[in-house]
Structure 1
Amino acid sequence: MKTTLTVLLSAFALAASTGVHAAERADHPHHGEGGADVQKLELNAGRKWATDAPLRQAMSDINRAMTEAVPLIRKDQLDAAAYQALAATVKQKVAYAVEHCKLEPRADAMLHVLLADLMAGAEAMEGKTGHPRREGALQVLQALDAYGRYFQHAGWQAPPR
């Protein structure tokens, strides 16, 4: 399981470094038959995608960490160590979601588009992309906003950007 998680996180990192969303893979551990390549988020026939408790927990944890940092991000006063810590939180929570969430294949495909954006933002916050760390934080904030627009999560409120 750890090898699959490492491969998946590496794929997200590669997608982040090339600026391309990671496509959902049919051989991913929580995919069944019928997985499809996905390049952009979309609703499920006009409705938000179902989530499960592990996903909601992981996203809530990322949301909480980013909300606390928003005032300093807005003022461009977050230092490199703080960006590094935020990136570590995002990566840890994405790994948790990948390992523990169990969504139906189409919802999972949509989730992977969002997770690729979170990972790309984390990579930038770590200073690994050549983009300002602040841009990575803004990308994570944008992904959190998209999560609320495309996934069911009672009471979800993304941090203000």
Structure 2
Amino acid sequence: MMRTVSARGLFTACAITAAALAGAPQAFAADAHNHGANAPALKLNAGSKWQTDAPLREGMVKIRANVEPKLHAIHGGRFTTAQYEAMGKAVDEQLAYIVGNCKLAPEADAVLHNVIAELADGAGVVGGKQAAGDRSKGVVHIVNALNNYGQYFDHPGWKPVQAGH
């Protein structure tokens, strides 16, 4: 059964995303976890991946390029607080770009909000805006979101992020 999302629901999700990217990640994270009825679970589009557009693909490639090469250093415990903060800022900047420029069909956009929510959660932890004790936990959220993006959205050439060991 295809789930429809009201214009009000999409507006609310976009407003929440904008608030998160403006420096309120805790509010966004809480709403993302408590707002399950308005954000459809990650799902395929009748068995196919959701279409993407150039701004979405560009932003996701930049997030990946910022995170993936650093996974080995993070795993090895050689990542500094300043490096985590820079990573969080870089992810937040790309999320702002995606939200401001990406124009997907309403159903695809609603599913994308799950990926955006996890990326924002991860950026909040990595950047130190959300208390988590271990900033590397935020990286786990970011990697999971990147892999979910590739699993549910059509991005030619996208491969799962490989954790550095």
Question: Per the shorter chain, which TM-score range?
Answer: 0.7 to 0.9
Instruction: Please report how far the alpha carbon of residue 20 of structure 1 lies from its aligned counterpart in structure 2 after TM superposition.
Output: 3.6
Distance change >3 Å, CA 69–CA 19, structure 1 → 2: farther
Partner Cα separation in structure 2 for residue 47 and residue 76 of structure 1: 39
Moved more, 83-92 or 5-14: 5-14
Partner Cα separation in structure 2 for residue 114 and residue 52 of structure 1: 15
User: What's the RMSD between the two structures over aligned residues?
Assistant: 2.3
C-alpha contact (below 8 Å) 1:70/1:159 kept by paired residues? no
TM-score (norm 1): 0.82
2:142 aligned partner: 140
Instruction: Please report how far the alpha carbon of residue 51 of structure 1 lies from its aligned counterpart in structure 2 after TM superposition.
Output: 0.1
Aligned residues: 146
The aligned amino acid for 2:152 is: Y
Partner Cα separation in structure 2 for residue 11 and residue 21 of structure 1: 13
Instruction: Please report how far the alpha carbon of residue 8 of structure 1 lies from its aligned counterpart in structure 2 after TM superposition.
Output: 3.0
Distance change >3 Å, CA 21–CA 58, structure 1 → 2: farther
Distance change >3 Å, CA 7–CA 114, structure 1 → 2: closer
The aligned amino acid for 2:47 is: G
Q: Which runs of 5+ in 2 are unaligned?
A: 1-13
Distance change >3 Å, CA 22–CA 64, structure 1 → 2: farther
C-alpha contact (below 8 Å) 1:117/1:143 kept by paired residues? yes
TM-score (norm 2): 0.80
2:74 aligned partner: 73
- Alignment of 1:15 with 2:37, yes or no, is no
C-alpha contact (below 8 Å) 1:52/1:101 kept by paired residues? yes
1:1-161 to 2 correspondences below 5 Å: 8-11=17-20, 13=25, 14-16=27-29, 18=30, 20-21=32-33, 23=35, 37-131=38-132, 132-161=134-163
The sequence identity of aligned pairs, in percent, is: 37
Partner Cα separation in structure 2 for residue 41 and residue 7 of structure 1: 18
| Cα-to-partner distance string for 1:99-147 (whole Å, 9 max, x where unaligned) | 0011000000011111010000000001222211100011101100110
SS of 1:44's equivalent? Answer: coil
Partner Cα separation in structure 1 for residue 80 and residue 57 of structure 2: 28
